[in-house]
Structure formats: structure tokens, C-alpha cells
Amino acid sequence: FPFLNLASHPSAMLAGMLLVCDLMWAGKLISGKRQAGFGVTDLLVLLFGVLFAASGLIGSSGRAVDGLMPAFLLVSAWIPMRALSGSALWKKRCVGALLFSSFLCAVLGIWQYLSGRAELRWLDVSRFGDTGGRVSILFGNPNLLAVFLLLTVPLALGAMLASGGRAGESGMDGGVRSERTSGGVRRSCAGAVFLTGSLCMVLTWSRGAWLGWIVSVFLMLLFHSRRSLSWLFLLPV
């Protein structure tokens, strides 16, 4: 949620939004419009939440009790997301919103670099001053921006590689042609997100994110097709 950083207390705002989502989900559960299940994945999320809270308490010597509620609210994001996961339409909407925000961040980051506003305080100027600085738009920290882009770039690559509609044996009718056209537009938009996100990630000068980019592209190509193995030899280059 990069644009929440424009507010004074982004974590508190996010926690409040999640609280509203949780209460709406609870209302639908009571009215019978939602089903409450508990599986292995839910157990793993619950354990992650416990570890998340416990690590905060240990790291602050037990003085972080006031932060437990926001922490649990952040982990509770799984509840409404789990409810949305059963709808293919909402999956597309969530991914689309995430990719759109990633595209805006990447474009702003590239603009920050080209306009000479990239920050030098994150660099050893004596050794890397000629790089022009590291971009950190909307996050205040180039590593955090790189992590956000690293989460979204693989999704863009997956959408870009997704196959479009197929023509029938006797030729394409209007519906199939329209589906192929919309599929082409979606892949073009996903390609734009992938390219701008990758370029902006380079400009963050976060070497860990660069390695993560290589691994994520490697995995996404394998998920797409075993034939993609031939392309993997280009990744080291």
C-alpha cells in the first residue's frame, strides 16, 4: 500500500481499514453469506501471526504490548482475502489494483531518477556517487521500494505470459476476436508493469532485490512452461 505513506500514520490507517473489512466479514458470516472454514493454510497463517507478535515482544523486551492490536489486525488481512479467493473476478480486481499501483510507483521512481531527485544519503558517495542516487519514491527507503516492486513484478510477468483466447476451426467470431483483443491489451499492460517495475528496481540499487528478480523470473518461467528452460540461460547475462 505505497500511497498510505502519504498519511502521517500509515500503519494505523491500514489497521483501521482492515478492522472495517473484518467487521464487514463478521457481519456477512452472521447473516450466512460467508462460510467459516479452517484448513492447513489457515493454521499456517495463525502460526505466522503468533510468531509475528512474539518476535515483536521479544525484540522490544516486552514493551510492545500497545503494538499487538495493530499487529494482529495486519495479520487478519488473511480473513477478507480468504473470502475473496473464491471469486475469480475479485482475484483479477485485486491483482489489477496491485499492478496498477506498482506501475505508478515505478513511473514516479523513474521520474525521480531522471529529474535528479534520487537520494544520495543511501550511498557511499565516495565510491558510488556517480550512480546518481537511489530512488525511494513514496517509501522513503529504496530497499522498501525494491521489496514492493519485487512482490509485484512476478505477477506482471505471469499476466504477460498468460495465453489469450483461441480461434475456432471455422474462423473467429466477434466474441472470440473481442476476447483475443482484450487479452492482448491485458498482456500489453502487464508487460508495461513488468518493464517499468524492473527498471525502477535497478534504480533502487538494491542488490538483494536484483537477486530476487532473477529467482522470481526463473520460477515464473518454469510455472509457465518447461520450454522456458531455454530462456533461463539468458538470466545470468
pLDDT in tens, 121-177: 777 766 776 777 899 888 888 999 999 999 999 999 998 888 554 444 444 565 566
Place of cell 498468460: 162
* Contact of 205 with 139, CB cutoff 8 Å: no
Pairwise CA distance, residues 43 & 125, whole Å: 47
Question: What's the confidence (pLDDT) of residue 57?
Answer: 67
* pLDDT at res. 114: 93
Q: For 9, phi and psi rounded to 5 degrees?
A: -130, 80
For residues 11 and 33, give the distance between their C-alpha atoms in angstroms, rounded to a whole number.
Answer: 30
211 vs 215: CA distance, rounded Å:
6
How many whole angstroms separate alpha carbon 127 and alpha carbon 71?
39
Cα(first)–Cα(last) distance of the chain, in Å?
Answer: 33
Give, in order, the Cα–Cα distances in Å from 46 to each of 24, 59, 67. 20, 20, 17
- Which three cell numbers mark 9? 500514520
- pLDDT recorded at residue 165: 45
Residue 77 or 233, more confident: 77
The partner residues of 68 in beta bridges, in order of sequence, read none
